[in-house]
């Protein structure tokens, strides 16, 4: 039986084929891409870090927000202390475009994650050509060979790699390739259901020398505290931020920070 993940991957492959350029042209684009920013170092800084997402829609919730100016939203995230900006460039399910990432990368000084379903080698080169500093590899969407090859190529191109897992078997696969940034996605990509125990169950199993990221379903300060207690070094948040009237205030609230200029009593 086909799953939501199968459908997404099939659409991604079809769309990639439609926009492919020659290998020579692609490599030329990679050669002139902006210098890579160190996403690993950004996430390894002291304290809980946030990967703030530019996200118009999702397969689970449909349209989330009208984002007329992705760059402006990204700048508001940066001013609120985000460590990394995440951008969805897939159009079918997420309403994004490669242009969104290009605009965001020019507007901020932070590392940028292309948070797409990377399922072809072409996309790895394309991700760097767009200026991304961090790439997402979803274990559930890739074979062992692809996972290993795509991570090696991403690192060769200078990018950091966020390897996403949903269960212990996928964690073993992530560790087997030496993943050093591992994200636990609480959302099952095959059913789109949220597993409320994912963070508490899986984050403690990830070795402490890796950067542990809690992904999906985070909307409250208490959830962030719980994820941090389980070992999370960073959280990835999209829906909560794009639906907030004040994204910067939402970031400060999630991280338990006082907004700039606030005077303590």
Instruction: Look up 185 and say whether it is catalytic.
Output: yes
Catalytic residue among 103, 126, 164, 239: 164
Catalytic residue among 115, 180, 195, 239: 115
Catalytic residue among 53, 78, 103, 239: 53
- Nearest to 89, CA basis, from 60, 120, 132, 51: 132
Catalytic residue among 216, 233, 239, 252: 216
Q: Describe the crossing of helices 247-255 and 70-79 by its angle, rounded to 10 degrees.
A: 40
Q: Quick one: DSSP state of residue 89?
A: -
Instruction: Look up 252 and say whether it is catalytic.
Output: no
What is the rounded CA–CA span in Å between residue 76 and residue 108? 10
What is the rounded CA–CA span in Å between residue 197 and residue 8? 25
Instruction: Look up 226 and say whether it is catalytic.
Output: no
Catalytic residue among 185, 188, 195, 252: 185
Catalytic residue among 160, 215, 239, 252: 215
Task: Compute CA distances 241 → 5, 201, 254, whole Å.
Answer: 24, 25, 10
Instruction: Look up 109 and say whether it is catalytic.
Output: no
Contact (CB, 8 A) for 137 and 164: yes
Instruction: Look up 215 and say whether it is catalytic.
Output: yes
- Nearest to 103, CA basis, from 23, 34, 19: 34
Instruction: Look up 164 and say whether it is catalytic.
Output: yes
Residues catalogued as catalytic: 53, 55, 115, 164, 185, 215-216
């Amino acid at each position: 039986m086909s799953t939501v993940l199968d459908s997404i991957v099939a659409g991604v492959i079809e769309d990639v084929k439609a926009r492919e350029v020659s290998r020579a042209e692609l490599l030329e684009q990679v050669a002139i891409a902006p210098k890579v920013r160190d996403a690993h170092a950004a996430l390894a800084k002291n304290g809980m870090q946030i990967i703030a997402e530019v996200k118009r829609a999702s397969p689970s919730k449909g349209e989330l927000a009208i984002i007329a100016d992705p760059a402006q939203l990204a700048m508001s995230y940066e001013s609120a202390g985000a460590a990394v900006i995440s951008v969805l460039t897939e159009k079918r399910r997420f309403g994004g475009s490669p242009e969104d990432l290009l605009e965001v990368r020019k507007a901020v000084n932070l590392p940028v994650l292309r948070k797409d379903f990377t399922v072809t080698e072409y996309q790895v080169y394309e991700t760097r050509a767009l200026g991304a500093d961090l790439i997402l590899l979803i274990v559930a969407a890739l074979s062992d060979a692809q996972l290993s090859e795509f991570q090696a190529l991403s690192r060769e191109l200078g990018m950091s790699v966020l390897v996403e897992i949903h269960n212990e078997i996928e964690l073993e696969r992530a560790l087997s390739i030496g993943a050093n940034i591992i994200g636990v996605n609480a959302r099952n990509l095959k059913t789109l259901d949220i597993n409320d125990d994912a963070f508490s169950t899986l984050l403690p199993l990830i070795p402490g020398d890796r950067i542990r990221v809690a992904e999906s379903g985070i909307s409250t300060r208490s959830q962030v505290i719980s994820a941090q207690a389980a070992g999370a070094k960073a959280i990835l948040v999209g829906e909560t931020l794009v639906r907030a009237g004040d994204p910067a205030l939402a970031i400060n609230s999630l991280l338990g920070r006082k907004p700039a200029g606030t005077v303590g009593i």
